[in-house]
Amino acid sequence: MKSIEDLRVGIDKIDDEIIRLIDLRMDYVKKIGELKQTTGSAVYRPERERAIISRLDGVKLKNLNKEAIEAIFFEIFSVSRNLEKPQVVAFLGPFGTYTHQAAKARFGAISTYESLSNIEAVFKSLITKEAKYGVVPIENNTEGAVGVTLDCLRKYQEVKIVAEIYMDIHHSLVTNCTQTAEITQIFSHPQAYNQCLKFLDDHGLSGVKFTATKSTAKAAQATLETPNSAAICSKIAAELYGVPVMYEKIEDNANNRTRFFVLSDFKNQRSDRNKTSILAKTDDKPGGLVELLQMFRNEGINLTKLESRPIKSHDFKSVFYIDFEGHIDDEGVIRVLENATRHAHEITWLGSYLNGDE
């Protein structure tokens, strides 16, 4: 039987080969980057990354599942993109939030991250070219749509949706206290707090003073500085501020998920399993929305989201945010949008991107 040292020697040899092959891969990446510069193609290609992951998932392996493959290759993709062009990613901060976690999951450890205090600031950072990509939340399956993101998509139409990220959201109760009876104050973002009401009630914490913070990361920082307090936040925030976790996964909905948008300034190429987002201001007549929806039905296009949002500059007028399956360049989609325009419906294309919920 081989000793631990013998096995480590074997690992070292494999590591040497792995790093050599990754370096060889980067030679190909650099050549592709040079070709992209001559054609003006986008550096970030979500559909190409998905195709690579899907292909590798089909390889017979003993120890690596799809999640492990994704974790490894998203970091490789990140290094590759930064080799082509340094990546600056703006996100709704501060560091340690779920949005930060989603951004890092997609753009890796090597990218430069710009933490901003509000969603509109992320859009402005893209407009001014301070960042190439932005990551913002769009909806949670417990709390619903993020209205500010919808408003900014309408206001800053130069910014396009280029990808979506679905992430399971798990809240933790973190504290320096040794038992719940010592806790006299709880910090959290109101949305996170409201997603844990049953846990709080079950553990006798529903009557404890609640102090709202701008983010769950700020909550972790606040409890670090406040005796006899706790925070409801992510594990990444607890680790960032060094606060012990008392309870993990305390959310009432075990299937709690948040959807994030990746934003940039380019148009994705068509691929399989696309989604498209638009804003629609229907003609001001009885049955205007029904007429528009019927156009999609006639082409067999499936709508996956319909959300109304008030137009704040007009009294009691609304614009409709719509997600549907397909790409803006699909023939059926083109026919729908041309037909909608002929019938005086105002359509704004927000982006076509790979379906991330697969």
Please give the model's pTM, rounded to 2 decimal places: 0.78
**Which pLDDT value is given to residue 245?**
95
Pairing type for strands 229-233 and 185-188 reads: parallel
99 is a catalytic site residue: no
Question: How far does the chain reach from its first CA to its final CA, in angstroms?
Answer: 44
**Which pLDDT value is given to residue 77?**
83
- Answer positive or negative: Cα dihedral of 155, 156, 162, 167: negative
List 91, 260, 261, 320, catalytic entry: 260
Here the tokens at position 165 are: 């990220």
Domains of the chain (ranges plus CATH)? 1-85 (1.20.59.10), 172-255 (3.40.190.10), 270-354 (3.30.70.260)
260 is a catalytic site residue: yes
The residue whose two tokens read 């700020």 is 218
Residue pLDDT tens, the chain, 358 long: 778 888 888 889 999 999 999 889 888 888 887 787 777 677 777 778 888 888 888 888 888 888 888 888 888 887 887 777 778 999 998 888 889 989 988 888 888 999 998 999 999 999 999 999 999 999 988 778 899 999 999 999 999 999 999 998 889 999 999 999 999 999 999 988 998 999 999 999 999 999 999 888 899 999 999 999 999 998 889 988 999 999 999 999 878 889 999 999 989 888 888 999 999 988 777 888 899 999 999 999 999 999 988 876 656 677 899 999 999 999 999 999 999 999 889 999 999 999 987 6
Instruction: Please spell the DSSP secondary structure of 111-177, one letter per residue.
Output: SEEEEESSHHHHHHHHHTTS-SEEEEEEEETTTEE-HHHHHHHHH-TTSEEEEEEEEE---EEEES-
